[in-house]
Chains A and B, each alone.
Chain A
Amino acid sequence: MVDIQTPPSVRVVGGERRRSPGSLALGAHAMLTLAFLYAPIVVLVLFSFTRDSFGVRWTGFTFDWYVRLLADQRLLTAAMNTLIVALISTIVSTIIGTMTAMAMERYRFRGRTGFDALLYLPIVIPEIVMALALLAFFAFSFGLLETLFGIRLQFGLATVTISHIAFTISFVVVVVRASLKGFDMRLEEAAQDLGANEWQTFRYITLPLIMPGVIGGALLAFTLSLDDFVITFFTTGSGVSLLPVEVYGQVKRAITPKINAISTLMLLVSITLVFLSQFVQRRREI
């Protein structure tokens, strides 16, 4: 675009055609940095197929570690738990987040700025602080319930799910609000002029148009929930196990090719989700 406006005689600073030592250095720097970012990922994937039982050297190809994963009941249960928590928390936080985004974008009300700050805080606050706060809160309220009413509650999948919803709502709100910003309000007015009520307008006009944003938010929430370690670690309690916590526990003991294999699978899931979310965004641009 810049090139159309600038006459050919003008030198484009840092432009394509000029291969100065500076721009070569810049290119080399970029390639090295990308290599730095990808070396660990490549090594991890590679060593999930090595015969070496320590999982740190290449001694030949095997698919054995993946087969052994299927026999590891602990890991399978943990993976199942992770999936359940991620699904439930994504559904709830997507619904709540979309409603909140609608309220924030469409209405002016007292306390809006304060609520805005409350919405952004879970994104910027150090994760460990939110995690230990949730741990303290659950323990505190469980203690209170027991002394006041004699009800005994325990940490488990429910506490993890509640916590995951609490930290993913904000991310959903940010993504959905972005898609509401470019929204043509006249479409809603037109629908209402034609006799649609509020719900019909939302269901048939607004929702389909902001759907890429809602799906994008849901995918982000799902990924965050699947990958989360810190908050999960603090809010599971003993007894139940989720995949990142299980992997962490095993990694603390030793590097094993089996952990390489499960890690590779986790990476694969995340990368698939990035592709999906990019695809959704592309669709939105068209």
Chain B
Amino acid sequence: MAADTLASDSQQREGQIAALLRRNERLQLGLLLFPGLFWLVTFFALPLVVVVLYSFATNGPGGRIEWTFTLNNYRTLFTESLYVNAYWRSIWAGVWTTLVCLIVGYPLAYYIVRRPPRWRTVLLFLILIPFWTNFLVRTYAWMIILSNNGIINSAIQALGLPRVALYPSEGAVLVGLIYGGLPFMVLPIYASLARFDFTLMEAAADLGANQVQAFLRVMLPLTMPGVAAGSVLVFIPTVGQFVVSDLLGGAKVDYLGNLLQRLFTRSNPPNWPLGSAMAIVFMIVLTMAIIIYFRVTTEEDR
């Protein structure tokens, strides 16, 4: 008896809730939206606010944070050559990596788009695999290839030449960065080229354009969204990375990411306020770089 009324009670309540939900669309929306909003505000937006707070705090003895307002962290960043150089080095590495990935990736994407459908699927899949697989492991693989007794040095020795110290070096870092960035450039360009109407190239040829002109004036501008997306996807992670320069550069030269990692986790004592200021300036520089990039690339359209 009791269980029976309980069941009908809960059924009734369920019915009431359902009715309430149906009537109140705002409540429905609120319930759907709340978990995502809560999580991203608490564990993404708030942490960024904390970084801003830290960047104006003072680093006390032993890495203890003292809440006295200071601009010294920012001053250090702009005056000490260690930090200024790290910014420049990382941005240059980002620019070069993006450029090489673009020059290598565009023709590859073009080649894939022009294959018959069956081949296209296979080739695209071959680009997707490195896109999905562990970046740390793939960077580590370069250590094996470039090591003193590795394949390349064995080949060099077999030719009777002296061994070369290929890694750790800045060249090895650049190879690793290009290697990591390439799939991120090819996929968006591929997506743009797949939507491109190739009969436009014939039209351009009929109107007297040679192949270079047709490429520069028709195909490139129309696939610019893919180029822009690919560039951003390669540039941002490259400037902020620390794994490649740590493993392939032997942590001899400091990139932005290495300094950030050291200031937060490794140095004794750590300096979170300085690291926070560094991260904030990094975000500002990155945002400006991307705005300038989009200005330049869309200007060419007009």
Q: Write the residues of chain A forming the contact surface with B, with a CB cutoff of 8 angstroms.
A: 2, 5-6, 10-16, 22, 26-27, 29-30, 33-34, 36-41, 43-44, 47, 54-57, 95-97, 99-100, 102-103, 107, 109, 115, 118-119, 121-122, 124-130, 132-137, 140, 162-163, 165-167, 169-170, 173, 197-199, 223, 226-227, 229-230, 233-234, 244, 247-248, 251-252, 255, 259-260, 263, 266-267, 270-271, 273-274, 277-278
Residue of A nearest to B176 (CB): A40
Residue of B nearest to A45 (CB): B141
- Check if A166 sits within 8 Å of B133, measured CB to CB: no
> What is the CA–CA distance of A250 and B199 in the complex, to the nearest angstrom?
54
A interface footprint on B182-197 (CB within 8 Å = 1, 0 otherwise): 1100000000000000
- Check if B264 sits within 8 Å of A132, measured CB to CB: yes
User: What's the minimum C-beta distance from A18 to chain B, rounded to whole angstroms?
Assistant: 11
Can you list 5 residue pairs at the A/B interface with Cβ under 8 Å?
A: A41-B130, A95-B35, A99-B33, A130-B44, A260-B144
Task: Kindly list 14 other residue pairs between chains A and B, CB separation below 8 angstroms, not including A38-B126, A40-B141, A109-B29.
Answer: A2-B199, A13-B202, A26-B107, A34-B108, A37-B127, A40-B144, A41-B133, A44-B137, A103-B36, A119-B40, A137-B50, A266-B137, A271-B132, A274-B133
Contact of A102 among B32, B50, B247 (CB under 8 A): B32
**Contact status of A248 and B136, CB under 8 A, knowing A134-B47, A135-B264:** yes
- Check if B32 sits within 8 Å of A255, measured CB to CB: no
- Check if B22 sits within 8 Å of A133, measured CB to CB: no
- Check if B143 sits within 8 Å of A251, measured CB to CB: yes
> What is the CA–CA distance of A137 and B53 in the complex, to the nearest angstrom?
10
User: What's the minimum C-beta distance from B148 to chain A, rounded to whole angstroms?
Assistant: 8
Chain B residues whose CB sits within 8 angstroms of the CB of A37 once the complex forms: 126-127, 130, 179, 182-183
Chain B interface residue number, banded: 35 or more
**Using a Cβ cutoff of 8 Å, how many contacts connect chains A and B?**
257
Residue of A nearest to B37 (CB): A115
Contact of B201 among A13, A124, A133 (CB under 8 A): A13
**Contact status of A244 and B134, CB under 8 A, knowing A5-B199, A29-B111, A127-B240:** yes
- Check if B126 sits within 8 Å of A34, measured CB to CB: yes
Stretch at the interface among B68-76, B79-87, B275-283: B275-283
- Check if A103 sits within 8 Å of B32, measured CB to CB: yes
Q: Say what secondary structure dominates the interface of chain B.
A: helix
Stretch at the interface among B4-12, B149-157, B292-300: B149-157
User: What's the minimum C-beta distance from B271 to chain A, rounded to whole angstroms?
Assistant: 12
Contact of A47 among B36, B127, B128, B144 (CB under 8 A): B144
- Check if B260 sits within 8 Å of A128, measured CB to CB: yes
- Check if B46 sits within 8 Å of A122, measured CB to CB: no
| B236 close to chain A: CB less than 8 A | yes
Chain B residues whose CB sits within 8 angstroms of the CB of A134 once the complex forms: 43, 47
**Contact status of A244 and B136, CB under 8 A, knowing A136-B47, A137-B47:** yes
> What is the CA–CA distance of A66 and B282 in the complex, to the nearest angstrom?
42
Residue of A nearest to B140 (CB): A251
**Contact status of A100 and B22, CB under 8 A, knowing A43-B145, A229-B243:** no
**Contact status of A223 and B132, CB under 8 A, knowing A41-B138, A44-B140, A136-B54:** yes
- Check if A2 sits within 8 Å of B18, measured CB to CB: no
- Check if A99 sits within 8 Å of B36, measured CB to CB: yes
